[in-house]
Amino acid sequence: MGVYILRRLVSTIAVMAMVGIFIFLLLRLAPGDPAAVIAGPTATEQMVANIREELGLNEPLPVQFVHWASDVLRGNFGASVFTGVPVLQLLSQRLEPTISLSVLTMILSVTVGVSFGVLAAWRSGGFVDRALATFSAIGYSVPVFVIGYILIYFFAIQTRWLPVQGYTSINQGVAPWFLHLILPTVTLSVPYIAFIARITRGSMLEVLSEDYMRTAAAKGASPFAMLFHHALKNAGVPILTVIGISFAYMIGGVVLTETVFNVPGIGRLVVDAIKNRDYPIIQTVLVLISGLYVLINLLVDLAYTLIDPRIRY
Amino acid sequence: MTISRRDLFKAGLAAGAALSVPSLLRAQTAVAADKTVRMALENLSVFDPVATTAGISQTHALAIYDTLFSADSQSQPHPQMVGNWGVSDDKKTYTFELRDGLGWHDGTPVTAADCVASIRRWAQVGSGGQILMSRASDISKKDDRTFVISLKEPLGALPSILAFEGPFIMREKDAGLPPTEQVTANIGSGPFKFNHDLAKPGASFTYDRNEKYVPRKEPPDGMAGGKTVYVDRVVWDIGVLADPQTSVAALQTGEIDFLYRPPIDLLPLIESDPNLKLEALNRAGVDMTLRMNCLQAPFNSVKARQALLHLVDQEAVLRAAYGNPQYFKPVTSMFGNTAAVTNDENTGWFKPGGDPEKAKQLFKEAGYAGEKIVILQATDWAEQSNASQVVAAKLREIGVNAELAPSDWGGLVSRRSKRDSVDNGGWSIFITDQSEATRANVFTDISLAMNGEKAWYGWPKNDEYEALRAKWLTLETLDERKALAREMQKLWWDYVPEVPLGQNIVPSAYSKTLTGLIPATLPLMWNMQKA
């Protein structure tokens, strides 16, 4: 196990280096110039040229890359070329909303998605199964922003129960924090619930037809014990894989959801940074997201051993 | 299992209680926001108004800094930080004395040295400032409250330059930075203080009332007059604009109070809400214009530029860009529709629907032989993108080989600085817009220059016109300027450095609980009150 983890960590470093080079080149080779954006719409060419000089954008690409890479290796991720605020400070401001939204979404998605999947498998072919299949099909295919607008219309504009947008830090109270997150969380959860429910149902159906399940039934196990103790644990590996992948892919859905509900998280930060060509922010966020992706995959692989003792590294 | 009516009743009560919890919690957790105004404004990414020409940075600066002079709603200059001032008999020496009660947000008094340093820093990049520096022999402080600008030759437009584009006055130590290095202190002497602790770049910025600010006695008028603040705090909510639908929904539910430029397609929704009001605060709006590369074929030929002037159907472009005719108008004067110097000299080219046959003939006279014409199209700016497509279609209709070059606005801004031919990565046409209010400022609006390499993108060159533009600076009366404006416009439409595509006036939307908003070219935060 130790060797496996070490090998994965070493490969992670190589992957991160490749990602860093790729991101750097991609940004620099794309058209657009932060100096022009800073200078504003009616700036003179001289004004833009002066800003380019100040930002060091006139230096050759290899020189710029070496500067950036050596800074990153020393833990210096630079500062926004616009505001001058250190990138890590900007990230720390944006981390809480994104983590809050992601964690609540995963809790809701896993709880409801797995329950729906188990229920559908248990009542396979019946009304409940068909209803949940319909929900899954719709939930997975309707875009996140459409779900968001519908929820805003009913729960914010019509009833005034929940706020339309914005975010309140948990430091200012759990109630306002939670209220601001209900609509974005539900919105973002719908496709994940649908996805997890479908995978869980399929996996459970396979397990429910196994001999040991019939044995458990013959020995008088309750439906709850059969489903959640015997079946779910054995159906767990594919479900866990899907949850891991969903969490890693969630950043895409988070960007849209943060935009619709004006949640000032990492997703919004990186979208704004891309619009402005704010290189230090984009580079840092993309490198960190790539690292997170790799880390989640590692954790999921390790978790297999807990669910299925037959798996060994 | 059976469910009794009593169980059903209990369940109903429990469900009702559960459903009411969010609104109860919401009421308890609502911010005590009586005197807080939440305004949805575009992203503020550069705080230093000298480092950028972006309007939002000017809006930020208007809140926290003060200016020596300000322009009223009729574009006339008035003293703002300046108290007494005068000019010598030979009109070469201006003496300015600061008014009483001016202090920085850090508690220190504003001095003449601060003003001199601020003028010098701004003058390195501002077009009006560069004019001033080219004519100034000395700018220096006389004492702590008085400074002097000495000129080599008279500059009658000096108060106007200081009012329209003039420097935001910063502390001497901030103004000592080179103009390419941004000031980040955000300490001014204006009516609002920037709240650094609550600043969330890209999400929201907070401005608190400067309780020590002493407003002028005159009533507010445009940017001029007394800047009295009646609210405790103004929060700029930037993130809510990321989604137009959400921004309007937030306005409807009272989560924001003010939306500067609501999406045009949602204006009927706002109109139908009895709690909201629509009002064109920026009454001059913005003018959309088409710039041509005058250095490269075919638009290095005046005939080809004139062809485009005749070809463009402003109504078609505006409809594609802005949709609702209620909010746009054609423009024929180089100064726009609303300036005091707007006139109809040499505007016979304008014809509703354009004149494609005339355009075709002019392209032929220009010797156009099917060369590729590249139109820069910003796909992340819907109005610009739509207008570009209409222009491309009109050109193709008369047999011109027009090609759209799509990119985002950032990419467009980079490419438009290339002077090369289209085969070498250059461009032929790009479309942009700008506040119409700046069109009357012949000396500071760089798009009105025709000085070749020094001119704005497109690089038009006409020495005769430039001589008239220089003359503008010496004029002191409006009548003199009106007469000169006609002469300039005669040359302008003969040369055709750009093609007007029309004026767009989008109303601002705000809650009826807000009153006292001042009509101006930028959103102003003083004088407004919240019921």
Average pLDDT, integer, range B451-462: 93
Q: Quick check: B14 pLDDT over 80?
A: no
Q: Which fold has domain B192-281+511-530?
A: D-Maltodextrin-Binding Protein; domain 2 (3.40.190)
Q: How far apart are CA B204 and CA B206, in angstroms?
A: 7
Q: What torsion do the CA atoms of B33, B37, B39, B44 make, to the nearest 10 degrees?
A: -90
User: A interface mutation test: which of B23, B246, B430, B459 has the most A CBs within 10 A?
Assistant: B246
Distance from the Cα of A117 to chain B's closest Cα (Å) equals 25
Locate the chain A residue with the closest alpha carbon to B448.
Answer: A42
Q: Do B181 and A160 touch (CB under 8 A)?
A: no
Name which of B240, B249, B408 is nearest A156 (Cβ-Cβ). B249
Mean pLDDT in chain B?
Answer: 91
Distance from the Cα of A179 to chain B's closest Cα (Å) equals 7
Residue A19: which of A289, A307, A301, A287 has the closest Cα? Answer: A287
Whether residue A141 contacts residue A128, with contact meaning beta carbons closer than 8 Å, is answered with: no
Quick: pLDDT tens for A277-296. 899 999 998 888 888 888 88
Q: Quick check: B2 pLDDT over 70?
A: no
Q: Quick check: B27 pLDDT over 50?
A: no
Contacts of residue A113, defined as CB under 8 A and 6 or more positions apart, other chains included, come to A192, A193, A194, A195, A196, A197, A200
Q: Do A165 and B127 touch (CB under 8 A)?
A: no
Locate the chain A residue with the closest alpha carbon to B447.
Answer: A42
Average pLDDT, integer, range B426-437: 93
This prediction's pTM? 0.85
pLDDT of residue B152: 95
CB burial string B102-117: b at 16+ within 10 A, e below: bebbeeeebbbbbbbb
pLDDT of residue B473: 85
Name which of B29, B413, B457 is nearest A37 (Cβ-Cβ). B413
* Residues of B whose CB is below 8 A from A259: 242-243
Q: How far apart are CA B198 and CA B205, in angstroms?
A: 7
Q: Could you tell me the pLDDT band of residue B205, with boundaries at 50, 70 and 90?
A: very high
Domain regions of chain A by residue span: 94-307
User: A interface mutation test: which of B253, B418, B432, B438 has the most A CBs within 10 A?
Assistant: B253
Q: CATH topology of B66-174 equal to that of B286-504?
A: no
Distance from the Cα of B97 to chain A's closest Cα (Å) equals 32
CA dist B33 → A121, B202, B266, B270, B527 (Å): 51, 22, 27, 23, 18
Give the architecture (CATH level 2) of B66-174: Alpha-Beta Complex (3.90)
Q: Quick check: B187 pLDDT over 70?
A: yes
* Residues of A whose CB is below 8 A from B200: 93, 264
* Residues of B whose CB is below 8 A from A57: none
Partners of B287 in the beta sheet?
A: B434, B503
Q: How far apart are CA B54 and CA B47, in angstroms?
A: 10
Q: Do A32 and B410 touch (CB under 8 A)?
A: yes
Q: Do B53 and A40 touch (CB under 8 A)?
A: yes
Helix (H, G, I), strand (E, B) or coil at A232: helix
Whether residue A194 contacts residue A113, with contact meaning beta carbons closer than 8 Å, is answered with: yes
* Residues of B whose CB is below 8 A from A262: 237, 239-240, 242-243, 246, 250
CB burial string A112-135: b at 16+ within 10 A, e below: bbbbbbbbbbbeeeeeebeebbeb
**ipTM tops the 0.90 cut:** no
Partners of B192 in the beta sheet?
A: B209
Average pLDDT, integer, range B237-265: 93
Whether residue B109 is preceded by a cis peptide bond, meaning omega within 30 degrees of 0, is no
Quick: pLDDT tens for A105-162. 999 999 999 999 999 998 888 999 999 999 999 998 899 889 999 999 999 999 999 9
Name which of A30, A36, A272 is nearest B202 (Cβ-Cβ). A272
Higher pLDDT, residue B336 or B181: B336
pLDDT of residue B151: 96
Which CATH number is B286-504 given?
A: 3.10.105.10
Return left, alpha or beta for B91; rule: phi > 0 is left, psi -120 to 50 is alpha, else beta.
Answer: left
Helix (H, G, I), strand (E, B) or coil at B70: strand
Query: What phi and psi, each to the nearest 5 degrees, are found at residue B324?
Result: -85, 115
Whether residue B114 contacts residue B96, with contact meaning beta carbons closer than 8 Å, is answered with: no
User: B interface mutation test: which of A26, A55, A82, A94 has the most B CBs within 10 A?
Assistant: A82
Quick: pLDDT tens for B95-140. 999 999 999 999 999 999 999 999 999 999 887 888 899 899 999 9
Name which of A41, A156, A268 is nearest B202 (Cβ-Cβ). A268
User: A interface mutation test: which of B43, B408, B413, B498 has the most A CBs within 10 A?
Assistant: B413
Q: Do B414 and A156 touch (CB under 8 A)?
A: no
- Out of A70-74, B66-70, B81-85, B485-489, pick the least confident: A70-74
Q: What torsion do the CA atoms of A95, A96, A98, A104 make, to the nearest 10 degrees?
A: 150
Quick: pLDDT tens for A31-71. 778 888 888 877 888 888 888 888 888 899 899 999 988 99
Q: Quick check: B446 pLDDT over 70?
A: yes
Quick: pLDDT tens for A182-235. 999 999 999 999 999 999 999 999 888 888 888 888 888 888 888 887 888 888
Q: Which fold has domain A94-307?
A: MetI-like fold (1.10.3720)
Q: Do A37 and B249 touch (CB under 8 A)?
A: no
Q: How far apart are CA B20 and CA B13, in angstroms?
A: 11
Domain regions of chain B by residue span: 66-174, 192-281+511-530, 286-504
**Percentage of the residues of chain B whose pLDDT score is greater than 90:** 73
Q: How far apart are CA B254 and CA A247, in angstroms?
A: 34
Average pLDDT, integer, range A242-268: 85
Name which of A38, A160, A176 is nearest B52 (Cβ-Cβ). A38
Whether residue B182 contacts residue B51, with contact meaning beta carbons closer than 8 Å, is answered with: yes
How many CB atoms lie under 10 A from the CB of residue B61? 23
Query: What string of H, E and C letters represents the secondary structure of B250-282?
Result: HHHCCCCCEECCCCHHHHHHHHCCCCEEEECCC
Q: How far apart are CA A81 and CA A34, in angstroms?
A: 8
Residue B427: which of B233, B529, B293 has the closest Cα? Answer: B293
Q: Do B253 and A160 touch (CB under 8 A)?
A: yes
Name which of A32, A80, A182 is nearest B414 (Cβ-Cβ). A32
Q: Do B26 and A261 touch (CB under 8 A)?
A: no
Q: Do A40 and B52 touch (CB under 8 A)?
A: yes
Higher pLDDT, residue A213 or B93: B93
Distance from the Cα of A164 to chain B's closest Cα (Å) equals 6
Q: Could you tell me the pLDDT band of residue B425, with boundaries at 50, 70 and 90?
A: very high
Residue B445 carries which DSSP code? -
pLDDT of residue B9: 47
Q: Do A168 and B184 touch (CB under 8 A)?
A: no
Rg (CA), chain A: 24
Quick: pLDDT tens for A67-83. 988 998 898 999 998 88
pLDDT of residue B8: 46
Average pLDDT, integer, range B177-181: 89
Name which of A83, A166, A272 is nearest B47 (Cβ-Cβ). A83
- Out of A168-172, A230-234, B227-231, B268-272, pick the least confident: A230-234
Alpha helices of A153-231 — where are they, by DSSP H?
Answer: 174-208, 211-218, 223-224
Whether residue B112 contacts residue B98, with contact meaning beta carbons closer than 8 Å, is answered with: yes
Higher pLDDT, residue B14 or A290: A290
How many CB atoms lie under 10 A from the CB of residue A156? 22
Q: What torsion do the CA atoms of B375, B381, B382, B385 make, to the nearest 10 degrees?
A: 0
